Every structure is written in structure tokens, then in C-alpha cells.
């Protein structure tokens, strides 16, 4: 379960002055559901998701994940969250096994439990062949699998994905999309941010269109289609965000 | 604070750093080899230069002397000089090191000598040049000898004993024990080296664990873990401190071994005749040894300073977005650290109540004292106490910095 209530985040920037990166955003995501946060670059997706993962403190508003409030119990929130972003990298000088073990330990797991979990994840993600090799020598596909295993080691109830397919080749991106769908299948609460329309259409139960920090439209795909009288996600996005292409 | 989490982070950082070549070089290789290299390498080069300079027969020009053929002949006969024809531009030639020395014999020098008083001889040399200096000393010896012989001849002429102009002899002898002599030889130098290594040992881990992680994107990954930020700072800080202390510990260890090995080589190397052996022993004693108790004192006094350095560099590097940016902040810090350490190395500056409050300089001075066996406990207490205070403040600052999201996620 994810509940975001009037989340707002302002940054002070020397050149641009005060920036409202996220502006009064509220939404609910139930277990077994994928919520898609659709927005262009700079829309406020990363800021919103970082507040959910307790990496940033909201300027105002609140959020609760798996029943824990982000402001009051940030450590409990993180213990129940797997956060995977294009910007969360691996330690290059560690092997995949060491990397996963490290995060297992930080999540308070005992070594035998971690060992069993790695065995299971490695079989599921087909990682056996490179499990004991250093991450800096990995292909992007191997890196993604290791990152996924890192987010899953403590089996969190909530998964947060921030543009996880950014910069990946088609096959790796497809594998990620399949994995996100698996998470839903296992009853996890999933929030997924992207600027790729087709991913939203393929994956999400509910879509939130974010622009300029504001959540401008929200609903299931059929709901949005009827509301904007458009079939194509891109057209819906343009209408909802109120941005027309320069003619 | 959760010690199990701190330990988990520390252990991971240790593994990680042990696989980083830059850290290994600055923390292990340089501290271990810098002292032996300086002592044996520089020592060898210096003694080689000295030997070559002493072996050289300097070219010397004589100015004047046409009316003093006896002295000129004696100078020419001396194996200590190679008398060359006097060039017009002898002054420039000395400056260009083509000529080592010129001896100015005044007019009627020999005639004056025979008559009872001769005009002064001039020795023209290159100030502070090694070869010219050696030649000048040889020339001085030559003329002192000539003067002594003249005096003796005159005394004999008048039937007087030689002792009339030399009523007694004197000699000097060192009575300070070798570790005190060593204290004044190494005393300024060892703390200087320890302070520098303490700083540089922390440098690479500090940058890699903060700005390096931000740059590579692993910092965000780490912050996703349900670990309190204080624990992350402590784990990382302990790794930086490990770098600092390893560099210092290895340097002190290798210094101790070098000092002992240096003495042993000097004592054992020339044991052919007892006389030579004894001479070698006195030369080893006059070079001095390092007092191990003093070294332990240095270690103890440097501990809080290592904490201070580690926490400060951690904080500064944390602010940077990239490794390069961190380097541009830490680089100038090296010079700031270097200056008080260098002042402490100067001879003649001794610890007093005022200097005991100047950070780093106080450490450098108190270490110098401890290495020569002087223990001013009141100063030691002040210096240790103030260093601990600074260290605690720096560590608190590091934790505060790490909790600031505008530092961790600097746009
Ligand atoms: N740490 C920061 N300091 C200042 N401005 C920031 C910071 N992080 C993000 N922003 C600004 O906030 C806005 C939203 O950014 P972000 O959440 O990263 O958008 P998205 O992930 O949708 O591309 C942008 O205008 C960005 O420049
Ligand atoms: Mg983003």
C-alpha cells in the first residue's frame, strides 16, 4: 500500500530561484497494483519517488508505505521498499554476490538466509554464470539483473521503479517490464515512473499524468480514454498536460 | 547507533578499498617505502656527491705571485690543487663553475714574509658551492700550514720552544646518548612525515567513499537501505580513519626498522679491523637512533589528529559532486596542513604555552620533544585534550553534513 497525501517539495536553486519540483501530489496504490507515473523530463517524477523512498524529506504533505509514515519511521519504510532507479548503481569493485549480500545484511538478514535468498534469486534471474564476477565488468543486462536482485533481497512489499528502462537496449528493457509484471503477480504494491507511453499502456493499472510538479490527471486506462475521447496514450498525455506541440 | 550496521558498512568499505589501486598506493606502498627511500636513497646520492666532490682535484688560478716563486712552486707541487693559467675573466669563470678558486698573492709577498710581515693573501671562491668550498678549505689549510711553518722557523731561529705559541690543546666529545642525538636529527622530521602521511592516508578513501560514490551513483543505492545515516557515516568514517592510521603506522614501523637497519649496516659493514669497527660505531652513535618509547608517544598524540583529518576530509569531499571536484578542495588543504608541520621541523622553535594551542604545530613540536626524551606532561595533556575536542567537533560536523539532502543530492 502506498498513500501519498498532498506531497510537495520545493528546492532552492541559485539561478532559478524556488522550484516546486512536486506540487500537492496525492494518490493511492493498492497491493497487487501497478501505478504508472507518466511525465516528461523535469516533471517531478524522481523527486516524488525519492520522497516515497525517504531519500528526500517532503516540504509539506505526507506519505505512508506499507503502513509506515515516511517522516516518522523512515527506516521502517525503507525496510519495506525496493527502490530501483536508472541512477541507483552497483559497486563496481564488488561481485554480484557481495553486492546482494551487503544489502541483505543492511536489511538485517542473517547470512544463511541471505545465502538461500541469493540461490533462489540467482535461479529466477539466471545469474549463476556471473554471480562471482565483479560488477564493473558487467554488461547492462547483467547489471540490471544484479540491481533487481539487490532490491528484492529483503522481499519488500512495495516496489518503486524510477525510469528503470532508461538507456537500456530493447531486450533488457523488455526483461525489466516482464519483471515488474511479476512483482504485481506476487501481490506487491508497485509504482513505476516513465516517459515512455507504450510502457504505461503495457503495464499500468492506474496512470497518473504529472507535469510541472502537478498531478494533472489520474485514472485507469479505459477511464482516461473515455475522459479525453482519445485512444492513443500520447494524445491523452498531450491533452491532459495541456502542452501542444509547437505548430 | 547500531554497531552491527556500522561494522557491516565498515567491512564492505574495507573490501572495496583493498581492491582500489589508488588507495593501496597512498595507504600502503608510499608510507612503507618513503622513509627507507629517503634514508638509503637520498643518503646514497648525497654521500656519492660528497665523495665525488672530495675526489676532485680543483682547478685553481693564481693571481699575481710573479715575485713569489717559492709559494707558487709549493702550490703547484701540492696534490690538492690543479694550478691552471690565469684567465682574464677568472671571476666569471668561478661563477660559471669552470674554475673552482682563485688565490690572490699580493705584491712582494715572499719578500714581506722574509722581512717579518707580509700583506694579506686573498682567496676568491663561490659562496655555498660544494666544490668551491672544499677547494677554499684546502687553500686555507695550505696557508695556515705555511704560517705555522714560518712561526716555527722564527722560534727556532731565536732559540725558543714551540709550545710558546701553543700552550695547551683542546678537543670536543659528544656525551648525549644516541637516542637524544637521534631525537634532534629525526625529531623535526618524523612528526612532519607522520602528519603528512596521516593526512594523505585518509585522502583517497575519503574522496572515494563520498564524492566518488555520488559520481558513480552508488550513494543513492546505499541510502535506500534501512540503515540510519549516522551508521553510514560512522562505518565510512572508520574506513577513512583506517586509511589514515595504516599510513601512519606503516610509516612509523618502517622508520623504526630503517633506523635499526641503518645502524646495523654501519656497525657491521666495516668490522675488518677493530679500529675501523670502533670508528663506525661512533659514527652510528653520532647519527643517532630513534627511541621506541618516543615513537609510541608520537603514535598516541597523532591518534586524535588522525580522527580530525579523517572527519574533515570526509566532510569536505562529501560536499563535492565528483572525484575531481573533491580533489580540487582537498589539494589546497594539503598545503594548509604542511605549513605548521614544516615550521615545527625548523631548529630552534621549542614548545611553549602559546604554541601548545596552535593545532598541528603543537603536535609537531611535542613529538619532537618526545623523540628526544623530553616529556612535558602539562603540554602533552593540553595538546591531546584540544586535539580530541577538535576531532569530536569535526566528526559531529560530518554527521550533520551527511544528513543534509542538499549536500547528498546536490544539483
Ligand atoms: N536537488 C535539486 N536541487 C534543485 N533542483 C532540483 C533538484 N532535484 C530536482 N530539481 C528540479 O526539480 C524539477 C523536477 O525534477 P525531477 O524530479 O528530477 O523530474 P523528473 O524525474 O520527472 O525528470 C526539475 O526542474 C529539476 O531541475
Ligand atoms: Mg527522473
Chain B interface, mutation test: which of A75, A82, A106, A114, most B Cβ atoms within 10 Å?
A106
Q: What is the pLDDT of residue B119?
A: 83
Which residue puts its alpha carbon closest to atom 18 of ligand 1? A46
| A228 is a domain residue | yes
Q: What is the pLDDT of residues A27-58, one digit of tens each?
A: 999 999 999 999 999 999 999 999 999 999 99
* Shortest Cα distance, chain A CAs vs residue B227, angstroms: 6
Is residue A17 located within the same domain as residue A106? no
| A177 is a domain residue | no
> Pocket of ligand 1, candidates A44, A55, A212: which has the most ligand atoms within 8 Å of its Cβ, to mutate?
A44
Cβ-defined contact of B225 to A90 (cutoff 8 Å): no
Is residue A224 located within the same domain as residue A208? yes
Which residue puts its alpha carbon closest to atom 1 of ligand 1? B411
Q: What is the pLDDT of residues A83-99, one digit of tens each?
A: 999 889 999 999 999 99
Q: What is the pLDDT of residue B289?
A: 66
Structural domain boundaries enclosing A103: 90-155
Is residue A115 located within the same domain as residue A47? no
Which residues, listed in sequence order, are joined to residue A210 by a DSSP beta bridge?
A215
Task: Give yes or no for B1 touching A (CB within 8 A).
Answer: no
| Helices assigned H by DSSP within B158-228 | 178-186, 189-207, 213-216, 218-223
Task: Specify the 3-state DSSP secondary structure of B260.
Answer: helix
pLDDT in tens, chain B (411 residues): 899 999 999 999 999 999 999 999 999 998 898 877 877 777 778 788 888 888 889 999 999 888 889 889 999 999 999 999 888 899 999 999 889 999 999 988 888 888 888 788 999 999 988 899 999 999 999 999 998 888 888 888 888 887 788 788 888 888 877 767 666 666 667 788 888 889 999 999 999 999 999 999 999 999 999 999 999 999 999 999 999 999 988 988 887 777 777 655 544 444 334 444 444 444 444 455 667 788 888 889 999 999 999 999 999 999 999 999 999 999 999 988 888 888 887 878 888 888 888 888 899 889 888 888 889 999 999 999 999 999 999 999 999 999 999 999 877
Is residue A147 located within the same domain as residue A165? no
Residues ≥6 apart with Cβ < 8 Å to A241? A39, A40, A209, A211, A216
Strand order in the sheet with B59-64: B82-84, B59-64, B101-105, B122-124
Distance CA B139, CA A42 (A): 84
Which atom of ligand 1 is the closest one to the Cα of A49?
Answer: 17
Is residue A164 located within the same domain as residue A244? yes
Distance CA B89, CA B124 (A): 13
Cβ-defined contact of A93 to B12 (cutoff 8 Å): no
Task: Give yes or no for B110 touching A (CB within 8 A).
Answer: no
B360 φ, ψ to 5°?
70, -50
| A218 and A244 Cβ atoms separated by less than 8 Å | no
CA A41 to ligand 1 center in whole angstroms: 9
Tally of CB atoms within 10 A around B177: 15
CA B219 to ligand 2 center in whole angstroms: 16
Task: Average the pLDDT over A205-231 and give the result.
Answer: 93
Residues ≥6 apart with Cβ < 8 Å to A149? A96, A100, A118, A121, A122, A125, A127
Tell me which residues have their CB closer than 6 angstroms to ligand 1.
A 11, 13, 19, 21, 39, 41-47; B 409, 411
B198 closest CA partner among B354, B391, B346: B391
Cell digits of residue A74: 523512515
Cβ-defined contact of B20 to A93 (cutoff 8 Å): yes
| A165 is a domain residue | yes
CA A194 to ligand 1 center in whole angstroms: 15
> Pocket of ligand 1, candidates A16, A19, A45: which has the most ligand atoms within 8 Å of its Cβ, to mutate?
A19
| B206 and B310 Cβ atoms separated by less than 8 Å | yes
| A176 is a domain residue | no
From chain A, which residues contact B within 8 Å (Cβ)?
Answer: 11-13, 50, 53, 55-57, 75-79, 81-83, 85, 87-94, 98, 102-103, 105-108, 150-151
Is residue A167 located within the same domain as residue A247? yes
Cβ-defined contact of A107 to B226 (cutoff 8 Å): yes
CATH assignment at residue A29: 3.40.50.300
pLDDT at A243 exceeding the cut of 60: yes
Q: Which whole-number Å values give the CA distances from B308 to B293, B338, B357, B359, B408, in the listed order?
A: 24, 15, 15, 11, 21
CA B16 to ligand 2 center in whole angstroms: 29
Cell digits of residue B339: 605549513
- Which of A88, A108, A150 is facing B220, going by the closest CB pair? A88
Cell digits of residue B302: 597523532
Cβ-defined contact of B9 to A106 (cutoff 8 Å): yes
Give the number of A-B residue pairs with CB atoms closer than 8 Å: 69
Is residue A73 located within the same domain as residue A163? yes
| B179 and B288 Cβ atoms separated by less than 8 Å | yes
Cβ-defined contact of B226 to A78 (cutoff 8 Å): yes
Is residue A110 located within the same domain as residue A223? no
- Which of B19, B221, B226 is facing A93, going by the closest CB pair? B19
HSE on the CB side for B367, CA within 13 Å? 31
All structural domains of chain B, each given as residue ranges with its CATH number in brackets, are: 3-51+178-408 (no CATH), 57-165 (3.40.1710.10)
Q: What is the pLDDT of residue A95?
A: 97
**What percent of chain A is helix, strand and coil (3-state, nearest 5)?**
40, 30, 30
Q: What is the pLDDT of residues A145-199, one digit of tens each?
A: 999 999 999 999 999 999 999 988 888 898 899 999 999 999 999 999 999 999 9
Is residue A206 located within the same domain as residue A106? no
Is residue A119 located within the same domain as residue A240? no
CA B205 to ligand 2 center in whole angstroms: 30
Q: What is the pLDDT of residue B183?
A: 65
The rounded percent of chain B whose pLDDT value lies above 90 is 45
| A245 is a domain residue | yes
| B295 and B371 Cβ atoms separated by less than 8 Å | yes
Residue with cell 525489466: A176
Chain B interface, mutation test: which of A9, A54, A82, A91, most B Cβ atoms within 10 Å?
A91
Counting Cβ atoms within 10 Å, is residue B191 exposed (0-12), middle (13-18) or buried (19+)?
buried
Nearest chain A residue to B402 by CA: give it. A55
Is residue A142 located within the same domain as residue A166? no
Q: Pick the residue with more confidence: A64 or B338? A: A64
Is residue A111 located within the same domain as residue A35? no
Q: How many domains does chain A have?
A: 2
Which residue puts its alpha carbon closest to atom 10 of ligand 1? A21
B187 closest CA partner among B38, B306, B298, B296: B298
Chain B interface, mutation test: which of A48, A50, A68, A88, most B Cβ atoms within 10 Å?
A88
| A85 is a domain residue | no
Task: Specify the 3-state DSSP secondary structure of A134.
Answer: strand
Q: What is the pLDDT of residue B285?
A: 45
Cβ-defined contact of A88 to B9 (cutoff 8 Å): no
Q: What is the pLDDT of residues B244-265, one digit of tens each?
A: 999 988 988 887 777 777 655 5
Cβ-defined contact of A53 to B216 (cutoff 8 Å): no
Contact list, A89 vs chain B (CB under 8 Å): 216-218, 220-221
| A116 and A107 Cβ atoms separated by less than 8 Å | no
Q: What is the pLDDT of residue B286?
A: 44
A189 closest CA partner among A50, A32, A73, A60: A32
Q: What is the pLDDT of residues A120-142, one digit of tens each?
A: 999 999 999 999 999 999 999 99
Q: Which whole-number Å values give the CA distances from B352 to A110, B46, B203, B357, B380, in the listed order?
A: 55, 35, 31, 9, 11
| A9 and A20 Cβ atoms separated by less than 8 Å | yes
Maximum Cα–Cα distance across chain B:
104
Cβ-defined contact of B228 to A75 (cutoff 8 Å): yes
Is the pTM higher than 0.90? no
Task: Give yes or no for B226 touching A (CB within 8 A).
Answer: yes
Amino acid at each position: 500500500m502506498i498513500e501519498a497525501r498532498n506531497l510537495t517539495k520545493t528546492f532552492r536553486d541559485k539561478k532559478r530561484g524556488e522550484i516546486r519540483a512536486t506540487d500537492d501530489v496525492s494518490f493511492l496504490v493498492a497491493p497487487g497494483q501497478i501505478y504508472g507515473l507518466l511525465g516528461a523530463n523535469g516533471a517531478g517524477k524522481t523527486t516524488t519517488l525519492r520522497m516515497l523512498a525517504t531519500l528526500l524529506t517532503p516540504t509539506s504533505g505526507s506519505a505512508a508505505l506499507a503502513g509506515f509514515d515516511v517522516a516518522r519511521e523512515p527506516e521502517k519504510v525503507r525496510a519495506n521498499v525496493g527502490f530501483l532507479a536508472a541512477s541507483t548503481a552497483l559497486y563496481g569493485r564488488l561481485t554480484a554476490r557481495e553486492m546482494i549480500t551487503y544489502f541483505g545484511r543492511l536489511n538485517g538478514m542473517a547470512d544463511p538466509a541471505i545465502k538461500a535468498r541469493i540461490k533462489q534469486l540467482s535461479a529466477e534471474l539466471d545469474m549463476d554464470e556471473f554471480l562471482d564476477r565483479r560488477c564493473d565488468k558487467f554488461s547492462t543486462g547483467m547489471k540490471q539483473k544484479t540491481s533487481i536482485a539487490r532490491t528484492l533481497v529483503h522481499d519488500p512489499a512495495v516496489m518503486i521503479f524510477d525510469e528503470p528502462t532508461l538507456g537500456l537496449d530493447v531486450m533488457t528493457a523488455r526483461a525489466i517490464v516482464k519483471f515488474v509484471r511479476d512483482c504485481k503477480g506476487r501481490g506487491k504494491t508497485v509504482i513505476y515512473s516513465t516517459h515512455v507511453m507504450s510502457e504505461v499502456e503495457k503495464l499500468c493499472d492506474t496512470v497518473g499524468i504529472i507535469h510541472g510538479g502537478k498531478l494533472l490527471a489520474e485514472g485507469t486506462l479505459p477511464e482516461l480514454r473515455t475522459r479525453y475521447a482519445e485512444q492513443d496514450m500520447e494524445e491523452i498525455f498531450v491533452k491532459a498536460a495541456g502542452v501542444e506541440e509547437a505548430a | 547507533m547500531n554497531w552491527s550496521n556500522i561494522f557491516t558498512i565498515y567491512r564492505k568499505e574495507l573490501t572495496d578499498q583493498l581492491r582500489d589501486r589508488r588507495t593501496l598506493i597512498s595507504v600502503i606502498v608510499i608510507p612503507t617505502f618513503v622513509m627507507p627511500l629517503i634514508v638509503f636513497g637520498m643518503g646514497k646520492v648525497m654521500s656519492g656527491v660528497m665523495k665525488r666532490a672530495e675526489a676532485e682535484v680543483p682547478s685553481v688560478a693564481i693571481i699575481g705571485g710573479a715575485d713569489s716563486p717559492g709559494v707558487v712552486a709549493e702550490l703547484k707541487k701540492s696534490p690538492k690543487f690543479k694550478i691552471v693559467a690565469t684567465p682574464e675573466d677568472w671571476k666569471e669563470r668561478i661563477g660559471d663553475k669552470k674554475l673552482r678558486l682563485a688565490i690572490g698573492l699580493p705584491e712582494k709577498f715572499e719578500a714581506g714574509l722574509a722581512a717579518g710581515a707580509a700583506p694579506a693573501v686573498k682567496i676568491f671562491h663561490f659562496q655555498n658551492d660544494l666544490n668551491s668550498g672544499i677547494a677554499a678549505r684546502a687553500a686555507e689549510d695550505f696557508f695556515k700550514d705555511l704560517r705555522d711553518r714560518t712561526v716555527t722557523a722564527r722560534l727556532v731561529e731565536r732559540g725558543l720552544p714551540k709550545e710558546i705559541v701553543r700552550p695547551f690543546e683542546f678537543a670536543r666529545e659528544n656525551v648525549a646518548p644516541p637516542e637524544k642525538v637521534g631525537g634532534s636529527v629525526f625529531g623535526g622530521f618524523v612528526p612532519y612525515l607522520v602528519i603528512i602521511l596521516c593526512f594523505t592516508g585518509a585522502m583517497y578513501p575519503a574522496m572515494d567513499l563520498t564524492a566518488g560514490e555520488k559520481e558513480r551513483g552508488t550513494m543513492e543505492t546505499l541510502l535506500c537501505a534501512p540503515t540510519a545515516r549516522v551508521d553510514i557515516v560512522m562505518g565510512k568514517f572508520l574506513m577513512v580513519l583506517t586509511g589514515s592510521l595504516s599510513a601512519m603506522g606503516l610509516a612509523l614501523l618502517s622508520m623504526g626498522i630503517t633506523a635499526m637497519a641503518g645502524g646495523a649496516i654501519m656497525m657491521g659493514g666495516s668490522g675488518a679491523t677493530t679500529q675501523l669497527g670502533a670508528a663506525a660505531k661512533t659514527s652510528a652513535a653520532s647519527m643517532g637512533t630513534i627511541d621506541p618509547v618516543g615513537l609510541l608517544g608520537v603514535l598516541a598524540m597523532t591518534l586524535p589528529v588522525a580522527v580530525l583529518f579523517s572527519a574533515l576530509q570526509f566532510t569536505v569531499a562529501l560536499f563535492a559532486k565528483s572525484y575531481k571536484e573533491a580533489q580540487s578542495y582537498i589539494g589546497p588543504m594539503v598545503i594548509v596542513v604542511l605549513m605548521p608541520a614544516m615550521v615545527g621541523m625548523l631548529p630552534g622553535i621549542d614548545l611553549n604555552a602559546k604554541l601548545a594551542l596552535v593545532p598541528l604545530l603543537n603536535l609537531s613540536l611535542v613529538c619532537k620533544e618526545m623523540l628526544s626524551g623530553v616529556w612535558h606532561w602539562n603540554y602533552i595533556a593540553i595538546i591531546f585534550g584540544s586535539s580530541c575536542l577538535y576531532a569530536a567537533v569535526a566528526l559531529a560536523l560530518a554527521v550533520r553534513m551527511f544528513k543534509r539532502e542538499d549536500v547528498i543530492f546536490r544539483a
